[in-house]
Amino acid sequence: MKDKPRRDEFKPERSTGFKKKGPRVNEEKEKLKKERKLKTTVYSPHEKSIQKPTYDIKKVISVVKQVKEEEESPVPKVKSSETRLNKFISNAGVCSRREADQLIAEGKIKINGKVVVEMGYKVQSKDRVEYEGKLLKKEKYVYVLLNKPKGFITTTKDPQERKTVMQLVKNACDERIYPVGRLDRNTTGLLLFTNDGEFATKVAHPSSNTQKIYRVELNKPFDEKHEERLRDPKFELEDGSIYLDGLSVNDIDRREIGIELHSGKNRIVRRIFEHFGYQVDVLDRTVLAGLTKKDLPRGKWRYLSEDEMIQLKYLSGLKKKPKKPSRKPKR
């Protein structure tokens, strides 16, 4: 078949109801376009006269944050350098905060040459604090781990002049450090020392749930019935319920036991086994808040590493968990 001849394109006439575009209408449209361009310049790849804008995304984000902070708080925030007087005295290694309150009440503390007896006094960074004529300065924080031997009591001073754990760490530093928590005289194992009062309070407090693992040796085999009762979440002593995080019994003679718990109650491990009629012959703290006795002989001490300090402060709630670096490749 032959192709039919193409007809002329049909062009309908404009209805009389529409108004023809005049020069005035076109001028108004062009004017509007120019105004829009002045307000917002939009990049188009087809317009060669307009260069593609370049942005530093980090700068943009920082500016946005700065503007937002200024809008929310027009008054700039100034980081406070004030410290409570009793805390300042404690940080200087003079005494504990409670003892510092006593010194303040007795009028033994001077600030800038004047006696201060106000308990809530805030020390400024430029203030000169004196005690017994000596200028007090904030000490650097020290953290020491001791593998305590038998026969030493956990205290800073003993009126009966018995051997104390302070004798074992006396050469560790010039700063005044003290034990965090306590171990009985005949209990061996890990014990922390520091002059960081806030850290010591957090770690020793039951709410911090500090992990403790002990190795126990009994005077006779541990009965399976007693083991079953001890594993019961409802197990209680006279001063309340006790929850164990872990319990392991040596099946050979059933005298050696591993026990893990977070409780900070006095003599808790000994009291647990005494409750069932056993005598604890050996009690050794092998793990404390993730710290172990590795390469630390009995009676010796060492400083905590920076990584150990970060971990301990995170576990005690003094520091946020460090974020893991992103694995995404940089563009």
For residues 64 and 53, the answer to whether their CB atoms sit within 8 Å is no
Q: E strand or H helix at 31, and its extent?
A: helix 23-39
In degrees, to the nearest 5, what angle opens at C-alpha 286 toward C-alphas 283 and 271?
Answer: 35
Catalytic residue chosen out of the listed positions 3, 101, 127, 184 = 184
Asked about 184 being catalytic, the answer comes back as yes
Contacts of 258 (CB under 8 A, 6+ apart): 213, 214, 215, 216, 246, 247, 248
Q: Token match 């009994």: residue?
A: 218
Burial-class residue 123 by CB neighbours within 10 Å (0-12, 13-18, 19+).
buried
Contacts of 158 (CB under 8 A, 6+ apart): 164
* Percent helix, strand and coil across the chain, each to the nearest 5: 25, 20, 55
| Beta carbons within 10 angstroms of residue 65's beta carbon | 10
- Which residues does the annotation mark as catalytic? 184
